[in-house]
Amino acid sequence: MSTIISKISVDDAVFSTPEYKNDRMVFNYIEGARQYDTTEFLSDHKNVIICRKAGHNSVWIWTNDGMHDDMDFIISVAKAVREFNSSDLKFFVKPAVAQMFSDMYALISCDLDYQVKSEFSLGVYKYCDTKVLSDNSVTVQRYNKKFKDAFFQFYMDLKDEFHWSEETVISKVNRFLALNTYLLLKNGNIVSVCVISDDDGECSSIRSTATKQEERNKGYGSLVTNIACKSNKKDGNSQIMLYTNIGNLSANATFKKAGFKLVGNVHLIKS
């Protein structure tokens, strides 16, 4: 039997179900998106939440665990997502439902030329340890305007590694400057960066961490992230979260060293 999925408001009953509350930490992106009037939410009011911010190609899909083996339910979810009418989407779903959803969406969306370009599991980490690491050879401070040009150049130097165009660098840097951005300085130069947003409801999120190529494997990424997170905790943010590719061993090691604990997983499907 087909599940009826339609647009809902940000105070719909589905956000209060025990099942969603249990998963809210892992799907904290959805909680943050509830703050924006331009976010579109779809649901059956009980077993699924489909979230997409206006202008973004990321689609977050929370599902009730009991529905993972319900083929008709997954088909209904895929049909609802198909109405976004785009093959250039990124889907974040629970690992247990990932393959079934991907297959159903591809089948239903043949005319959209949908295909899976890549997919992998993301570890969901929560900051737990407020202990600050130390290194007397460097300093960490919050961004200020005198570093604007150097901050832009820092990301320009990494754009090929990140597969970013110059336009993407400009766009991202401008967004980062409006967030909680911390710089690790060595001899007055930017060596490592951590950017934290504060727009995810009860949670803040790590938006970017990066270190100059020649300065890696020295603990700088963990250090700037640890101090940035401690500073944000002092500012009253109850939880700080991040998502990172489980296969990126160096990134996972950096975040664990910075005081993060793995609390769950989601699966990313790029089309």
Joined together, the tokens standing for residue 199 give 């727009």
- Identify the band that residue 192 occupies on the pLDDT scale cut at 50, 70 and 90: very high
Mean pLDDT for the stretch of residues 122-138: 85
- Identify the band that residue 237 occupies on the pLDDT scale cut at 50, 70 and 90: low
Mean pLDDT for the stretch of residues 79-83: 94
The pLDDT of residue 68 is 84
Residue 241 has pLDDT above 90, yes or no: no
- Which residues share a beta bridge with 59? 91
Beta carbons of 46 and 14 less than 8 angstroms apart = yes
Mean pLDDT of the chain: 90
Residue 129 has pLDDT above 80, yes or no: no
Residue 270 has pLDDT above 70, yes or no: yes
Residue 199 has pLDDT above 60, yes or no: no
- Chain segment 94-109, per-residue pLDDT in tens: 999 999 999 999 999 9
Beta carbons of 114 and 105 less than 8 angstroms apart = yes
- Identify the band that residue 215 occupies on the pLDDT scale cut at 50, 70 and 90: very high
Mean pLDDT for the stretch of residues 248-254: 87
The whole-angstrom distance between residue 178's C-alpha and the CA centroid of its chain comes to: 17
- Chain segment 25-44, per-residue pLDDT in tens: 899 889 888 888 889 999 99
Give the Å distances, CA to CA, from 176 to 19, 34, 180, 196, 198.
34, 21, 8, 8, 12
The pLDDT of residue 238 is 65
Mean pLDDT for the stretch of residues 133-148: 90
Residue 236 has pLDDT above 80, yes or no: no
Identify the residue with better confidence: 236 or 161: 161
DSSP string computed for the chain: -----EE--TT-GGGGSHHHHHHTTTTHHHHHHTT-TT-EEEE-SSSEEEEE-TT--EEEEEE-GGGTT-HHHHHHHHHHHHTT--S--EEEE-HHHHHHHHHHHHHHTGGGT----EEEEEEEEEE---PPP--TT-EEEE--GGGHHHHHHHHHTTHHHHT--HHHHHHHHHHHTTSEEEEEEETTEEEEEEEEEEEETTEEEEEEEEE-GGG-SSSHHHHHHHHHHHHHHHTT-SEEEEEEETT-HHHHHHHHHTTEEEEEEEEEEE-
The pLDDT of residue 197 is 82
The pLDDT of residue 200 is 52
- Which residues share a beta bridge with 208? 195
Beta carbons of 166 and 156 less than 8 angstroms apart = yes
> Percent of the chain beyond pLDDT 90?
60
Least confident of 27-36, 137-146, 169-178: 27-36
72-86, 188-202, 233-247 — most confident range: 72-86
User: How many CA atoms lie less than 13 Å away from 71 in the CB half-sphere?
Assistant: 1
Is the pTM higher than 0.95? The answer reads no
